[in-house]
Chain A
Amino acid sequence: MLGRWLEKLVAHGRVLSLILLGLMGALVLADILLPPDYVRFPWDGIGGFAAILGFAGCVFFIAVAKGLGTLLLYQNEDYYGEQHEHEPPPAERGRHD
């Protein structure tokens, strides 16, 4: 039953995302219009600061991670030469001579 409900939601994904975008706009608007509860940091008075931080933070994390991955960290899955099943290990890797 829950499955059918979810199917319906997914089928209306476009409408849902539009509603969500509208809600997000309303949130930012509310944040701009409402006076801040407290001003402890310079950014506390800026309306929609958290929205900017969320968006920029997400882009930042993806960019940094993918940059590091591509330049340095990504390796093939058999890099360490360990098998998930009981298989004979591949010929020893990493010997250069």
Chain B
Amino acid sequence: MNHRQPSGDAMIEWLHPALVLLLGAGLLPLLPSAVRKAWLVLVPLAGLGVIFSLSPGEFGRIEFLGMPLVTGRVDELSLVFAYVFGIILVIGMTFALHLKDTVQHVAALAYAGSALGAVLAGDLVTLYVFWELMVITSVWLIWRRGTDVSYLSGMRYLVIHALGGVLLLAGVIVYYQTTGSIAFDQIERSSVAFHLILVAFLINAAVPPLHAWLSDAYPEATITGAVFMSALTTKTAVYVLMRGYAGVEVLMWMGAIMTWYGVIYAVLANDIRRILAYHIISQVGYMVCAVGMGTTLALNGAAAHAFTHILYKALLFMGAGAVIYMTGKSKLSELGGLYRTMPWTFLLFMIGAVSISGFPLFSGFVSKTIIIEAAAVDGRGLVYLMLLTAGAGTFLSIGLKLAWFTFLDHDAGLRPREAPPHMLIAMGLAAAFCFLIGIVPGPLYALLPAPIDYDAWTLAHVLKELQLLLFTGLAFFLLLRFVGGKPKIALDVDWLYRGGGRRLTAAIRDRVQATNRSAREQFMAALVLWMARVKKRHGRDGKLARTWPTGSMAFWVAVLLASLLVFGIRQH
């Protein structure tokens, strides 16, 4: 490792890519509007250039309150993520070029810069700072949609991530207290810090039941903002899990369940970007599962899948964004037949769809199968089957359901124009990556954290994958009338804090009130009855209170004497 001191020379040699992007973001509003567009192309390209010039080592050391911070840890693992973050920033910014909203551009640049800062952070304090910065920059990509729903959704996003941030901070403090170090490496299970930091990471990785912020907020974000969000937050979480929690077995099961969870909710979803959002959860499940397995092959698979996932998921979000931008509609039940007027968007979207599904020739095939292979090599049959089946579910929701009901199927009567050129160029770039990685996976494999001995392109793999996906298609078309989008929403865990909890409390309150009321009423009724009885006996005309005639008194005396007589005789 190349340890350098923050001397003047090193500062010049070492330029943090996050700094470039944050500076670029800061300067943007100050520029005249004529050059802003050029700036939006230049800054991401400059960032990408700096990222590609990074060489392994530890840079940017700062002393802060007696703690040694390492703002730039460049190694095989952080580089994979840094490269793809840089690439996706260029593509996403190209997609957003039509936008005149400076706030969004600043937010997107700063958000990407923070994500890079988090990935390159060599210590937990630096990580925490960039972690929080990601939240407060990305939330603007939701709010700038400008609707009431996006405002509320953004608030929920902010609150959940603030909670995650507090947990991370608490974890870092405990970690420092117990180990005396803030270095960010594999986290020891010895203290409570292990769990605090883990939960914070799991929130950002959208692991159920901590996932609902994602499927809630991403579909409400701006068309261009969702592209960045789909790429950065969850994948930063995958990176930190790989760094700190590799081989923690519970993650393997959480990940395997995630892959199914996303698939099942995607079948229910009607909003096109909500379907995609649930499939982020499903795809990140593969990566979390691989982190839990923790073998070299699995970790390589997680890194490779994160790389390809960012590209095809951004492509899918761009395709869906283009549809919403051109039609103003986002629900499957209102879309249909768009291939006629948006053929290029359709074609590029389909490249993303077959990539995420893992069709041979496309990127998902060469990355997802590494993780599945890792499960097989490890002899984990159940996980292997779960991951394989989730692949069928992915194709079902995105390659079939989403594509069919948006672009094909019945003609919904919409005649939008084709998406504007800069959008098609951005999508074309992402699609080119998806295709090239699919046919020539070598360069991607060379980037991975460890040397990899894996060949995706074997006859057995191709046969297996093709059978799996094509027969999924067969089942889809046989069940076509059940799978269309319904104008409904499907409740998820966020129900608890979106009124559901309030409703539950109100229902309990109502039940308690009703019980209380009926108990009081019964008691009062009993009391009234008793009062009436007392009144009958002791009231003015009651048996015991009325004036008695002398005759009756004589009668009672006679009874008394008679009884005395009887008992008296008996006693002797």
Contact = CB atoms under 8 A, between A and B. Distances in A.
B385 interface: yes
B134 to A, nearest CB: 25
A3 B340 CA distance: 6
Contact of A62 (B267, B381, B489, B499): B267
Given A50-B468, A62-B479, A65-B264, A57 B148 contact: no
A66 B265 CA distance: 10
A38 B385 CA distance: 16
Nearest to A58: B475
Interface in A43-89: 48, 50-62, 64-66, 68-69, 72-77, 79-86
A6 B491 contact: no
A3 B475 CA distance: 28
A37 B456 CA distance: 13
B4 interface: no
A84 B479 contact: no
B410 interface: no
- Interface of A, secondary structure class, is helix
A16 interface: no
Contact of A37 (B393, B460, B471, B482): B460
A34 interface: yes
Contact of B466 (A27, A57, A66): A27
A56 B388 CA distance: 12
B396 A62 contact: yes
Given A10-B408, A61-B393, A94-B503, A55 B474 contact: yes
Contact of A23 (B340, B470, B502, B513): B470
Interface residues of B, number: 65
B295 interface: no
Contacts of A83: 147-149
Contacts of B467: 24, 27-28, 31, 48, 50-51, 54
Which of B344, B459, B460: most chain A CB closer than 10 A? B460
Residue in B147, B489, B498 with the greatest tally of chain A CB atoms within 10 Å: B489
B267 A65 contact: yes
A15 to B, nearest CB: 15
Nearest to B216: A80
Interface in A1-44: 2-3, 5-7, 10, 17, 20-21, 23-24, 27-28, 30-31, 34, 36-38, 40-41
Given A27-B466, A41-B384, A94-B503, A76 B392 contact: no
B385 A75 contact: no
Contacts of B36: none
Contacts of A95: 506
A84 B489 CA distance: 14
A94 B470 contact: no
Nearest to A78: B489
B385 A53 contact: yes
A86 B148 contact: yes
B149 A54 contact: no
Interface string B249-262: 00000000000100
Contacts of B195: none
A38 B308 CA distance: 27
Contacts of A52: 471
B265 A58 contact: no
Given A54-B468, A68-B264, A36 B475 contact: no
Contacts of B552: none
A96 B392 contact: no
B561 to A, nearest CB: 67
B459 A40 contact: no
Contacts of A86: 147-148
A54 B471 contact: yes
A23 B565 CA distance: 117
A79 B396 CA distance: 27
Given A28-B467, A31-B467, A82-B152, A61 B264 contact: yes
Interface string B369-398: 000000011010100110011001100100
Interface in B481-523: 482-483, 486-492, 498-499, 502-503, 506-507, 510, 513
A81 B388 CA distance: 39
Given A6-B343, A69-B490, A24 B474 contact: yes
A55 B346 CA distance: 25
Interface of B: 147-149, 152, 260, 263-265, 267-268, 339-341, 343-344, 346-347, 376-377, 379, 381, 384-385, 388-389, 392-393, 396, 408, 458-460, 463-477, 479, 482-483, 486-492, 498-499, 502-503, 506-507, 510, 513
Given A37-B459, A61-B393, A74-B268, 4 more contacts: A3-B343, A38-B460, A50-B471, A83-B147
16 contacts: A6-B346, A20-B470, A51-B468, A54-B469, A55-B471, A57-B472, A61-B396, A65-B264, A65-B268, A72-B491, A73-B490, A73-B491, A74-B488, A75-B491, A83-B148, A95-B506
Interface of A: 2-3, 5-7, 10, 17, 20-21, 23-24, 27-28, 30-31, 34, 36-38, 40-41, 48, 50-62, 64-66, 68-69, 72-77, 79-86, 94-97
Closest 10 CB pairs of A and B: A65-B267, A58-B475, A54-B471, A54-B468, A57-B389, A37-B460, A57-B392, A51-B467, A50-B467, A3-B343
